[in-house]
Structure 1
Amino acid sequence: MSDLDRRTLLRGAAAAAGGVALGGPFLGFVNRDAASAHPKPPKAPLVDDIADLRDGKVRLHVPAGFRYRSFHDTESPITLDDGTALPGRHDGMGAFRDKSRDDIVLIRNHEVNNPGPAFGPRTPYDPMARGGTTTVHVSPHGEVRRAYTSVNGTMMNCSGGRMPWGSWVTCEETVNGPDVGPDFTNASNVPLTKPHGYVFEVPVRGEATGEPITAAGRFTHEAVAYDPHSGYLYLTEDSFEFPSGFFRYKPRRDPMRLGHLDNRGRLQMLAVRKRPNIHLEADQRRGATYDVKWVDIDDPSPTFPYTPGETAPTTNDDATIHVPKQGWEQGAAYFSRLEGAVYDDGVIYFTSTQGGGEAETELGPHATGGYGNGHGQIWAYYPKHEVLRAVYRSPGPDTLDFPDNVTTSPRGTLVVCEDNTNDNYLRGLGRDGELFDIALNRLTSSSGAPRTNDEFAGSTFSPDGETLFVNIQAGAGMTFAIWGDWRRIGV
């Protein structure tokens, strides 16, 4: 696109309607001030007496007429079909069609940190890393058929993304390794045998290689979304103490033809034209729209010197910023804690968990509160036009608090998982720009203690759009299948 065409498009995007030039379902956001609006009454109020079909306990509040079933509740030990002792901390997840029957295949992350023996019987990437993915075959209403380890020996598998050629890409939200000093937990990394901070591909059918796509970067990955038109994977970074970046990776060969990702592509980072190092974590005006460019990351997969058996001299902070710093030096934009990402109808939507507050004055480390002091933003990136738009900012914690994983329904509604320390909701963000409730966490432990601050994660619809699967991400994690008349409630 020429600079003249780009300027014309941007002027159109900033106008009252703005959506004609860019398209996408969330046109209502540029016509109203989301920062000052309060949510309207729910399209379908949540009710408090619908029981989990697994055992009759109430674990969620959902709209009238909806049903749900939980499974793989790791508050009690669970052994999978291949002998895996199922880990907890269920996080990002993708749903795929099971071609052999009318069931669904879920590939699910387990965000487990700190060194320790890998779970599962497969050959692990790192035998002293405890994260990974499990694959679960379920009925449309959450009845488990079989389950097994699909990738192991990884760390902090947070979110990821569903690929249209039939794979889940799982992302490590860490840069731990034997070449890096301890992270925020102060646990020694000396027992680790491999560097971490990568993405791994997990096919629905066939076995995963268990090897990272190192060319897609070693940084605190969160999620990934694939644009089938440009061939780029768009990657979010969730760096708690420092600014986060928005990245893209272009494999050298087309994965739609190849059937998998190659490890020979180019990693780049988003910058805003003529606005070097712009603070996008700050409060954005209504429908703020930016013309962007992409800067190359020349050293996407660093390793650092170390002596086996000794604590590495490179600090975790220094390792964390090694990749994004290359982008900052070329003017890359600053975001706050980029988390969920999803592709829909030519647009990449992604969340900024603590964005939307006052601009930060220091790049870090922000060890206590994290980088960013808002309650959350939602962004839209238009790959065809290389344009970025702010489509939502939370006005406060009672409206939307710390948006995390995200997916879209077949009708274009954005389904957002909350991750805060109070009541956690699944929220819907409709085409009309209205935010509404889908479900509320009402978990208690076996001892009766409330677990309502356990976050939702991994929202994903079944291929037919009839069932929403979602996780509770906690030490005692579990997965839910939720179904009902989605059209009636605006989802």
Structure 2
Amino acid sequence: MQRRHFLRVTALGGGALALGSLGYWRGVYAGPPEPGPGPYGLMASAPDANGLLLAPGFTSRVIARSGDTVPGTDYTWHMAPDGGACFPLPDGGWVYASNSETSPNGGVSAVRFSAKGEVKGAYRILSGTSINCAGGPTPWGTWLSCEEFPQGRVWECDPTKPGQGVARPALGAFTHEAVAVDPVGQRLYLTEDTQDGRFYRFTPAKWPSLEAGTLEAARVTGDVFQGAKVEWVPVSAESSASEQPAARETTVFRGGEGCWFDGGVVYFTTKRDNRVWALTPLTNRLEVLYDASRYPGAPLVGVDNVTVSRARELFVCEDGDDMQVCLLTPDRKVSPFLQVMGHRGSELAGAAFSPDGQRLYLSSQRGTNGRGITYEVTGPFRTSAA
């Protein structure tokens, strides 16, 4: 934990840059990591009772363990918990939906919480699917669960009650990872988790229905560290763009992972080159916010699921490495926020905030013994940007 604490990313050309603006993080260069605390302080030197290193004022609890009954319910939690999101309920409570990245019995489970954070129920919202990796929430309150295998589909689920999701073939048949919805531009953006994956956008024929629409893949021109331009090439929804004649006109993204929309920006990660990207749909401008190869010894390696706090901080889960959730902040710092100890061979996934922004949910997919653990972290999260 002590070997990599904190990194300040310096902008070329000067000027105030902020996550979510139209001219943020415009090009970065490598600099040595500076030891020091992140915005929430240094993580503790010893793990808590649940095996987590946390910043001062933060506490954790275990919500569920794979193969065991969710405490306070009669529902058995799924194996290999992966991507997730929270959804507000009319009574002030919320639901946390969580994918199961297993085959053949993947799908999605959900935990319902009261307004006080008490577990009030757990149930299945999607069955009969495989390798449900990540996905994304919609503004109309559904969960889009993505299947991560060739010819995989996106399934739309109602997280508020037990049920069965509906396949959305118009969103493509490929190795899906995650999806983010832009409610202003009325489009969806999707990542593909393969070595020669593409980055897609979907324009519904009739918003917000996902039954039909136009699928396109990105073609990038220019310097992604200074701000590149994205054009969109129509592709078939029947297979990966890499298998189509249009592939030569589109850009390869090496192992697309998490994807999240916030403040007019689509953030996504690519694991094979350890990058965090930002696309501004309004201008079709694409930038690399973070590239681990430019920061030897930096804290964030193995980028995976991503979410954004109310303070416009990017929380990025690590797949492997030292099992941290790291964050990128508007003042251009990259630092570890928490670390799960003793989970060798696992990965962190499913990072999502409760509607009030005060609770962070995440899972260690394989835990210490091959069985996943889903956590809740509570504490003084910032709820507005500095």
CA distance in 1, matches of 2:344, 2:97: 25
Contact 1:112 1:131 (8 Å CA) reproduced: yes
The yes-or-no answer on 1:164 pairing with 2:139 is yes
CA distance in 2, matches of 1:82, 1:485: 28
Report the equivalent of 1:204.
Answer: 159
Which of 87, 90, 102 is the matching residue for 1:112? 102
Report the equivalent of 1:477.
Answer: 372
Task: State the Cα deviation string for residues 295-327 of structure 1 (Å, max 9, x = none).
Answer: 0113x125xxxxxxxxxxxxxxxxxxx433327
Report the equivalent of 2:192.
Answer: 237
The yes-or-no answer on 1:262 pairing with 2:262 is no
Deviation at 1:64, TM superposition (A): 1.5
CA distance in 1, matches of 2:163, 2:205: 20
Within 5 A, what are the aligned runs for 1:316-331?
Answer: 322-326=240-244, 329-331=247-249
Change (3 A) 1:265 1:83: farther
Q: Secondary structure at the match of 2:363?
A: strand
Contact 1:270 1:295 (8 Å CA) reproduced: yes
CA distance in 2, matches of 1:145, 1:111: 24
Contact 1:82 1:148 (8 Å CA) reproduced: no
Which of 411, 414, 426 is the matching residue for 2:325? 426
Report the equivalent of 2:264.
Answer: 346
Deviation at 1:103, TM superposition (A): 2.3
Report the equivalent of 2:206.
Answer: 253
Which amino acid is 1:24 matched to? G
Contact 2:12 2:28 (8 Å CA) reproduced: no
Which amino acid is 1:401 matched to? V
Report the equivalent of 1:402.
Answer: 302
Which amino acid is 2:365 matched to? Q
Report the equivalent of 1:42.
Answer: 37
Q: Secondary structure at the match of 1:42?
A: coil
Contact 2:196 2:252 (8 Å CA) reproduced: yes
CA distance in 2, matches of 1:141, 1:478: 22
Change (3 A) 1:82 1:439: closer
Report the equivalent of 2:121.
Answer: 146
Change (3 A) 1:158 1:397: farther
Contact 2:73 2:121 (8 Å CA) reproduced: no
CA distance in 2, matches of 1:327, 1:60: 48
Which amino acid is 1:215 matched to? A
Which amino acid is 1:244 matched to? G
Change (3 A) 1:92 1:199: same
Deviation at 1:23, TM superposition (A): 7.6
Deviation at 1:141, TM superposition (A): 7.4
Task: State the Cα deviation string for residues 197-218 of structure 1 (Å, max 9, x = none).
Answer: 0000112346655331111101
Which amino acid is 2:202 matched to? Y
Q: Secondary structure at the match of 2:361?
A: strand
The yes-or-no answer on 1:467 pairing with 2:385 is no
Which amino acid is 1:418 matched to? E
Paired residues, number: 369
Which of 76, 94, 97 is the matching residue for 2:85? 94
Contact 1:25 1:412 (8 Å CA) reproduced: no
Contact 2:22 2:280 (8 Å CA) reproduced: no
TM-score by length of 2: 0.87
Deviation at 1:140, TM superposition (A): 6.6
Deviation at 1:149, TM superposition (A): 0.6
Deviation at 1:19, TM superposition (A): 7.1
Choose 222-231 or 478-487, whichever is displaced more: 478-487
Report the equivalent of 1:29.
Answer: 25
The yes-or-no answer on 1:486 pairing with 2:381 is yes
Greater helix percent: which structure?
1
Which of 305, 321, 340 is the matching residue for 1:441? 340
CA distance in 2, matches of 1:218, 1:471: 27
Change (3 A) 1:294 1:455: same
CA distance in 2, matches of 1:140, 1:67: 19
Choose 243-252 or 136-145, whichever is displaced more: 136-145
Which of 289, 296, 300 is the matching residue for 2:227? 289
Deviation at 1:398, TM superposition (A): 4.7
Task: State the Cα deviation string for residues 364-389 of structure 1 (Å, max 9, x = none).
Answer: xxxxxxxxxxxx11111010111111
Which amino acid is 1:348 matched to? V
Q: Secondary structure at the match of 1:38?
A: coil
Deviation at 1:244, TM superposition (A): 1.3
The yes-or-no answer on 1:224 pairing with 2:162 is no
Larger CA Rg, structure 1 vs 2: 1
CA distance in 1, matches of 2:351, 2:290: 19
CA distance in 1, matches of 2:25, 2:283: 19
Which of 317, 330, 343 is the matching residue for 1:417? 317
Which amino acid is 2:220 matched to? V
Q: Secondary structure at the match of 1:292?
A: strand
Deviation at 1:347, TM superposition (A): 0.5
Q: Secondary structure at the match of 1:487?
A: coil
Change (3 A) 1:323 1:82: farther
* Gapped regions of structure 2 (runs ≥ 5): 1-10
Which amino acid is 1:210 matched to? G
TM-score by length of 1: 0.69
CA distance in 2, matches of 1:150, 1:133: 6
Aligned-residue CA RMSD (Å): 2.8
Contact 1:111 1:156 (8 Å CA) reproduced: yes
The yes-or-no answer on 1:155 pairing with 2:130 is yes
Task: State the Cα deviation string for residues 126-162 of structure 1 (Å, max 9, x = none).
Answer: xxx3000001112577642210110011111111111
Deviation at 1:36, TM superposition (A): 2.9
Contact 1:140 1:462 (8 Å CA) reproduced: no
Contact 1:28 1:433 (8 Å CA) reproduced: no
Choose 202-211 or 411-420, whichever is displaced more: 202-211
Contact 2:96 2:110 (8 Å CA) reproduced: yes
Which amino acid is 1:110 matched to? S
Which of 13, 17, 35 is the matching residue for 1:16? 13
CA distance in 1, matches of 2:261, 2:16: 17
Deviation at 1:110, TM superposition (A): 0.6
CA distance in 1, matches of 2:181, 2:169: 17
